[in-house]
Amino acid sequence: MTSTVLFYLLSVVSIVFALGVLFNPNPIFSALYLVLTMIGMSLMFFNLEAYFIGGVQLIVYAGAVTVLFVMVLMLFDLKKEKQAFTKGLFSSLLKYFSAGALLFMISGASLMSMGLMTEGAEKAEPITTKQLAALLFTDYFFAFEVLGIILLVVAIGAVTISRIRGGTHAK
């Protein structure tokens, strides 16, 4: 009962914050709304009794990734970039295309997940952290390693770009 009420409350709050990310004209307010959305997501995990994932969501997304977003946005004055992204045929095409693709993916995902929850179904046992780790290092070992390599490539790429003379603004 309590968890159902909390679920709807948290969903509404998270959706409102997510819309705030989209519709706020000020990039810094958008980023702060993103933080609140991430915290809302983590609370959803806590509500679903997936405590470990909720905690990791807090550490990684709310605590580290979005801090970087907010920090970088505060460092720059983003008037020119905002203008550059609002005008132009190519960028508007890109925008419409990506919005359409996202909409397609979201509707597909929600269509596919309908009917998964049946009435009166037994509640699954919450997975402990040890079971999670065992799964990660046995069944999903390949995916785990590939993700690690992708992250390594991204890190090397970032260092390489920053070492070019003039940084990202090199001509």
Partner 1 sequence: MGSDIFEISVNAVKIVALFLLMVQIVPLLVWVERRGSAFIQNRFGPNRVGPLGLTQLLADAVKFIFKEEFIPEKGRAFIFYAAPVVALLPATLAFVSLPLSAPVNVETFEMFGQSWGPYTFQFQGFDFGLGIVYVLGVSSLATYSMLMAGWSSSNKFSLFGGLRASAQMISYELALGLSIVGILILYGTFDFKTMIAAQQGALSFHFFGEMVTIPFLPNWGIFYQPLGAVLFLVAVFAESNRLPFDLPEAESELVAGYHTEYGGMKFNMFFIGEYGHMLVASALMAIFYFGGYNIPFVTPEQLSGFLEGFGYVGTTNSLMTSFLLHLCMFLKILFFLWVFIWVRWTLPRFRYDQLMDLGWKTMLPWALANTIITAIVVFVMRM
Q: How far is the CB of 59 from partner 1 (least distance, A)?
A: 4
Distance CA 69, CA 116 (A): 36
Residues that bind partner 1 (CB under 8 A): 28, 32, 35, 39, 42, 46, 51-52, 54-59, 62-64, 67-68, 70-71, 74-75, 129
Cβ proximity to partner 1: between 1 and 114 the closer is 1
Distance CA 158, CA 96 (A): 28
Residues 57 and 40: beta-carbon distance below 8 Å: no
Cβ proximity to partner 1: between 87 and 130 the closer is 130
Determine whether 56 is exposed, middle or buried from the number of CB atoms within 10 Å of its CB (0-12, 13-18, 19+): middle
Cβ proximity to partner 1: between 59 and 84 the closer is 59
Q: How far is the CB of 77 from partner 1 (least distance, A)?
A: 12
Q: Work out whether the CA dihedral 129, 66, 149, 106 comes out positive or negative.
A: positive
Cβ proximity to partner 1: between 26 and 83 the closer is 26
Question: Which tokens is 63 given?
Answer: 């605590």
Q: How far is the CB of 17 from partner 1 (least distance, A)?
A: 14
Q: How far is the CB of 132 from partner 1 (least distance, A)?
A: 12
